[in-house]
Amino acid sequence: MLMICLCFLLTGDGNPKESSPFINSTDPEKNQQYDGKNMALFEEEMDTIPMVSSLLSSLANYSNLPQGSKEHEEAENNEGSRKKPVQAPRMGTLMGVYLPCLQNILGVILFLRMTWMVGIGGVIEAFIIVLMCCSTTMLTAISMSAIATNGVVPAGGSYYMISRSLGPEFGGAVGICFYLGTTFAGAMYILGCIEILLVYIVPQAAIFKMEGLEGAEAEAAMLNNMRVYGTLVLSFMAIVVFVGVKYVNKLALVFLACVICSILAVYAGVIKTAFEPPVFPVCVLGNRTLVWKGFDVCAKVIERENATVTTKLWRLFCDSEFLNATCDSYFANNNITEIQGIPGIMSGTLRENLFGNYMDKGSFIEKVGLSAAVEPDSIPTNTNRYVLADITSFFTMLVGIYFPSVTGIMAGSNRSGDLQDAQKSIPIGTILAITTTSIIYMSSVFLFGSCIEGTVLRDKFGEAVRGNLVIGTLAWPSPWVIVFGSFFSTCGAGLQSLTGAPRLMQAIARDGIVPFLRVFGHGKANGEPTWALLLTACICESGILIASLDNVAPILSMFFLMCYMFVNLACAVQTLLRTPNWRPRFKFYHWTLSFLGMSLCLSLMFICSWYYAIVAMGIASCIYKYIEFRGAEKEWGDGIRGLSLSAARFALMRLEEGPPHTKNWRPQILVLVNMDSELNVEQPRLLSLTSQLKAGKGLTIVGTALEGTYLENHPQGQQAEQSLRKLMEAEKVKGFSQVVISSNMRDATSHLVQAGGLGGLQHNTVLACWPRNWKQAEDHQSWRNFIELVRETTAASEALLVPKNVSAFPSNGERFTEGHIDVWWIVHDGATFVLLLIILHICISLLYLQHDSDISAYTYEKTLMMEQRSQILKQINLTKTEREREIQSITDSSRGSIRRKNPAAVTTQLSVTEEPAASSKEEKPEEEVQPLIHDKSTNPPTPATPQSPSADAETPGTASFFFPILL
């Protein structure tokens, strides 16, 4: 780390500027080459490269606050003044990215839990945990670098990166998760601060005394102390942030110095143990480690003035100070041993600490290699005198506790608006910071395992070393360097979380993508997020009430891992979809690294805690769905939409491989509707039939035709399309709408039939109404258009469904008690017709069919008869009129035969509530509905001549359908 910092000092502020030309003051000829112009350029270039004085000035103005805090501070300082505030100088890589990331990554877990993790998991497993977590953040940093070098980096950090890459839904969901992670991080830092204060600095300040308490009572007292003091510290910090961020900003350099000094003190202590290990004795009874509290000598008795006297330790386990006192059985049967807690790096302790030693809650922390005499079936007594495991430990729990120690990698990207060259500073500074901290963490695992006794490593609160912070026992020159350094570091990290989280929430609220969060976008006159700060304090208080650092750490791990996972996902999706505006210049980036980082994040989420992972993903999913249905639409681009388009394209290309099998045939319907003069649908019940027939499955295209030219009638076309979509939504028809404008209605309808659908996803069935009042109309164009439609569907080998009296069809909200539906068909494939009837039977819940097998068999028989007679008529060379007359007589005869043989096969009962029709038991007059006569091998079909002037009149409560199956 010192070498990296030295490199920054030698190269200035890390700005990507060329070095100034070297002037050899001893060579007058070279010095004379610089004329006035060159010297002016030289002086200008020297001004851009800060020397030691400018570096010290930058350190004095160092700030670790997120984007926007500086502007709010300036607005507060200039409040009431008309002077325009002077913009703060842009920061470089060192001050703007490297040091803030370093300060955010190195934190409370390193000081309070790192030694315990090495002792519990062993050096090998602890190193694996550190390697996994650091690899995850490094891969995420590479993805961030790709985003940073893709173009202009917007101010706002990770939330803006994700929302502008994956769309508002993912951006809002992950932004809120990142906000929650930052908020719970504030709770974790505050709990760490209180733990240092009450355990290592002033234990006597505890409100709930723990003296003499054991087990659950002692644990409850400690948690209550954490809750009370945590709430007080949170309130104080929230007030400081509310008053003004300038006070937090002034302490940023102090907090940074505390972190750096603490790390240096640990490394100095490690070096010192090689020559002179510190004296930190540990007292062991049998093989159980004792709490070094209430006694001064690690012995049962001592010699004093030629006499054997008992010690204070004796009195803790015996009922009197005399040698004949009654003592605890374990104390009486085992010897006292004093071992060195910090044997030093050259002691060979590493071999004993290589492997894990997981324990259950309440287990004794024992010295490996020492024997003990334990009476069988004896109940342990005086357990408060021994160092016990406070929680049940296992590998996945260690991962969840440790991961927060590698978070904070986005401290540089969150301040991208303050950077002089964000595209270069963010990659260099972030990757260097992760490299530095990874080296610190990995080396700490080996150094702690090599220098500290295993019993001390497993002692989470340092009870065996007189209540000292375990990592502090290794520090030089004094443990208090680590104690106070970690205390102020955690305080600073808590303030930074309470400063950054509200601004992130304010940015989300002001974007307006989550409507119910808009109130948190308001604040003070200078822009301070007052309402967002109040929300952050309330959420942070919920973490304080948990009161356990070990329980809060996995929660924020979930939210940070969620955020990192979607940063990697954004890069991978943009690369795989080959988005035109995705051209990162970071040469070490590849989409496989982003995919690997995303996989690691997802794996770590379930490794840490599978139920926390499910809850976090559930929260993100709920937010995503809420934004999708209720949120505002933003033109930010949507990588997921591009992914959907790619998947749709792949599926369409697969559909082109061949025609569907008969078993897979489904009606893909093109619904043809007419529009009135006000561009409203004339047959809304046609969409009711479609909705009930399709039940939201398969393809549905609702099309209409307008007469005119596209250039002149384009607004009317848009209005007609909106009308179609509105009606489709009301009738719950899931599909697509299409409006075609042409010089005449016939051509427009033909275009719809020909061009509907895309590739293999095309309609195979056309649904159109029977022409109304076609016989009485002076203009016969309506039935001519209908005949042309029949011809076109025949040519396209598509099925044609023609409902008559569709206005009498029940809507989705109606139930009929009487009435009937007459189904008339011209068949070339009886099986397909039966399939249509089955679909009608299933989708229209009010409709039931009878004697399906009779329909199938009789339809097949009559189909063969009609085909045979049609072939005979062709062979005898009849005229067109004569042939149509013969076909009509055949159809009339067949229809009567069908009614006599099985009336239920053609007429099916329907429950109706209004206008009851004629009883279904009575035979329906043949004049009411005329069948459409069509043979695929003959001329196009025409409607049969009605035998009554009212043949085209609509009868209430009756709906008739023609099903020409042309396949």
40 pLDDT above the threshold of 90: no
Q: Which stretch of 515-529, 833-847, 893-907 has the lowest confidence by average pLDDT?
A: 893-907
Whether pLDDT at 954 is above 70: no
Residue 317: Cβ within 10 Å count: 19
pLDDT computed for residue 173 by the predictor:
82
Contact 604, 132 (CB under 8 A): yes
pLDDT value for 943: 40
Residues with Cβ within 8 Å of residue 924, at least 6 apart in sequence: 822, 907, 918
CA distances from 130 to 114, 126, 448, 630, 850 (A): 10, 6, 14, 41, 71
**670 and 752 Cβ atoms separated by less than 8 Å:** yes
**Model pLDDT, residue 891:** 53
User: Of 160, 162, 152, which Cα lies nearest the Cα of 573?
Assistant: 162
Residue 419 near residue 150 (C-beta atoms within 8 A): no
Q: What share of the chain is helix, strand, coil (3-state, %, to 5)?
A: 55, 10, 35
- Of 445, 491, 559, the C-alpha closest to 195 is 491
Query: Which single residue is written with the structure tokens 């989409």?
Result: 591
Confidence band (pLDDT; 50, 70, 90) for 487? very high
- Residue 875's pLDDT band (boundaries 50, 70, 90)? low
Region 711-727 average pLDDT: 88
Range with lowest mean pLDDT among 143-152, 307-316, 645-654, 918-927: 918-927
Please compute the mean of the pLDDT values over residues 865-876 and round it to a whole number: 58
pLDDT at 522: 83
Distance CA 901, CA 582 (A): 70
Q: What is the pLDDT of residue 481?
A: 92
Which of 532-536, 691-695, 822-826, 924-928 is least confident? 924-928
DSSP letters for 519-557: GGG---TT---HHHHHHHHHHHHHHHHH--HHHHHHHHH
Set out the domains of the chain in order of their start, with CATH numbers: 281-388 (no CATH), 662-815+824-848 (3.40.50.620)
Q: How many angstroms separate the CA atoms of 626 and 514, rounded?
A: 8
* CA atoms of 350 and 540, how far apart (whole Å): 40
Asked if the model's pLDDT at residue 89 lies above 80, the reply is no
Provide the angle, in degrees to the nearest 10, between the axes of the packed helices 530-546 and 479-511: 130
Q: What is the pLDDT of residue 339?
A: 93
Torsion of CA 114, 118, 121, 123, to 10 degrees: 140
Whole-angstrom distance, CA of residue 12 vs CA of residue 552: 40
Number of H helices, E strands in the chain: 33, 15
pLDDT tens by residue, 365-399: 999 888 888 887 778 888 889 999 999 999 999 99
Phi, psi for 956 (deg, rounded to 5)? -60, 140
The kind and range of the H/E element at 963 are: strand 958-964
User: Residue 904 pLDDT more than 50?
Assistant: no
Average of per-residue pLDDT across 157-164:
70
> pLDDT tens digit string along 438-474?
999 999 999 999 999 999 999 999 999 988 999 999 9
Helix (H) or strand (E) holding 839: helix 830-843
Give the pLDDT confidence of 781-803 residue by residue, as tens digits: 777 788 888 888 888 888 888 88
The percent of residues above 90 in pLDDT, for the chain, comes to 27
Total residue count of the chain as it appears in this document:
967
pTM to 2 decimal places: 0.71
Omega of the bond leading into 477 within 30 degrees of 0 (cis): yes
pLDDT value, residue 46: 43
Pairing of strands 765-768, 799-804: parallel
Residue 850 pLDDT class (50, 70, 90 cuts)? very low
3-class secondary structure, 802? strand
Question: Please, how many CA atoms are within 13 Å of residue 659, restricted to the half-sphere of its CB?
Answer: 7
Token pair of 119, please?
């002792």
C-alpha distances in Å from residue 493, one per residue of 192, 222, 291, 473, 488: 10, 23, 31, 24, 9
- Give the pLDDT band of residue 879 (cuts 50, 70, 90): low
pLDDT at 915 over 50: no
- Distance (Å, whole) CA 739 – CA 18: 61
Which of 832 and 537 is assigned the larger pLDDT? 537
Could you tell me which of 913, 929, 726 has the C-alpha nearest to residue 810?
913
Q: Look-up: residue for tokens 């509310």?
A: 242
pLDDT digits (tens, 9 = 90+) for 249-304: 777 788 888 889 999 999 999 999 998 888 899 999 999 999 998 888 999 999 88
What would the mean pLDDT of 611-625 be, rounded to a whole number?
A: 87
List the end-to-end C-alpha distance of the chain, in Å, as a whole number. Answer: 77
Q: Which of the pair, 929 or 818, is modelled with greater confidence?
A: 818
Q: What is the pLDDT of residue 658?
A: 64
- When computed from its CA atoms, the radius of gyration of the chain, rounded to whole angstroms, is 41
Helix (H, G, I), strand (E, B) or coil at 742: strand
Instruction: Pick the closest to residue 759 from 639, 655, 603 (CA basis).
Output: 655
Between residues 900 and 644, which one has the greater pLDDT?
Answer: 644
Q: What is the pLDDT of residue 42?
A: 40
Comparison of pLDDT for 902 and 233, the residue scoring more: 233
Query: Which three-class secondary structure state does DSSP give residue 356?
Result: coil
Q: What is the dihedral of CA 43, 48, 50, 56, to 10 degrees?
A: 120
Residues 310, 303 contacting (CB under 8 angstroms): no
pLDDT at position 853: 38
Edge-to-edge strands, sheet with 281-285? 288-289, 281-285, 336-340
Per-residue pLDDT, averaged over 559-572, amounts to 88
